[in-house]
Structure 1
């Protein structure tokens, strides 16, 4: 039974008329609303998990397990791109002191969405999108710019820059996460974001809600 207080999102138009989409998922709380909206619109969905920024490894495993649980519940295909922290460290080296939403985040988004775009191209997807932009902690324009750059490297590939926050999407994201009991992390994933999280009782604890 759906106990959400928000109105259901109207069916989405198929992006570029495509009925098949690859979704880069950053975590279960952020992609819950997106998955429900895409599937309710009659679009075939494959979830792609590539997040080498998440550290330590136990935190990565916890977040991935929640996305896998969600994919199974929704009957969506799941692709595990596996853990790749060394590549992330190479791409973001020297940017540790950058502020959130700064150049380190751009490099991080570029890496993750380039890998997603490559998989999309190699496996016959014409459209891909990401859950990264739905969070209020992220700069949506920054995420979308990375997505478009990644798509531009492959002929015939489009990044779907739909605003998942609008039409109550941001509120439903929170409601679905609570309804499903998703693990709620308190930092983006990378070591710099963890160090800058609030001190005291709100300090993030790895693998705990």
Structure 2
């Protein structure tokens, strides 16, 4: 069950949900703030595996969370189409983490999930014609957060969460509910959030300018791209040109997450 600690008493998030009106929106930002106060009271810095769909979403999210926790970004986004665009966003994500670490003296790590678009298509089968923000998006959130939770258990992280809630185009209520539901199947805790609060989204835009971060024009999936009239062949051409001569493995070795059974060279 999703829970957080307040003093010595463990508060079950489901108990809070049950006491609220069915249509009442939950302030997940306040819940996260209470969790952070508890971490500070206990003198701990939890290990968080944070899903990020792109560098822009991770900007303010990392600036905020790294004050209180050790964060590893998990780039698990097989929904992104085409493959060349996926690679461009993965590269930009790693570059931002590297630049962020150098500027702030943090030690954010990075893990990339395999690019398996067929698994994404299976996850949203039958929902292809859903409007953006509808059931297809919810299924996509569930598919990706399930991957993050499983990896968090495998690697022993205290929490798993997502930077998706910083986007004004994503319903944080839906993202958080999916995260809570996913947690029920794993021995790890979901990190509730609404990173767009407290001017989080505005700060993310500022940070993209400060760090010269590429900001994409569509969320990633082929369905949303077609609905928006995105020129995918042009996106592919631009992404290939962007990636020419770039090698993230060689350029950003310091941010690679080192598994317990690995030895650094």
TM class by shorter chain equals 0.7 to 0.9
- 1:22 CA drift (Å): 1.0
State the match for 1:89 in structure 2.
121
Verify the 8 A CA contact 2:49 2:74 in the aligned structure 1: yes
Q: Give a deviation string over 1:102-136, Cα, whole Å, max 9, x none.
A: 11111100000000000001111121110111111
- Of the three residues 184, 199, 203, the one matched with 1:168 is 199
Unaligned residue ranges in structure 1 (runs of 5+): 1-11
Query: Hey, what's the Cα distance between the residues in 2 that align with 1:82 and 1:70?
Result: 20
State the match for 1:135 in structure 2.
167
Query: Hey, what's the Cα distance between the residues in 2 that align with 1:79 and 1:193?
Result: 26
Taking only aligned residues, the RMSD between alpha carbons, in angstroms, comes to: 1.9
State the match for 1:20 in structure 2.
47
Paired positions, count:
193
- 1:14 CA drift (Å): 3.0
Unaligned residue ranges in structure 2 (runs of 5+): 1-32, 40-44, 102-106, 243-265
User: What SS does the aligned partner of 1:118 have?
Assistant: helix
Query: Hey, what's the Cα distance between the residues in 2 that align with 1:150 and 1:179?
Result: 35
State the match for 2:79 in structure 1.
53
TM-score by structure 1 length? 0.86
Rg comparison, structure with higher value: 2
TM-score by structure 2 length? 0.68
The structure whose residues are more often helix, as a share, is 2
- 1:198 CA drift (Å): 5.1
Q: Give a deviation string over 1:40-82, Cα, whole Å, max 9, x none.
A: x141111101001001000000000011112222231101112
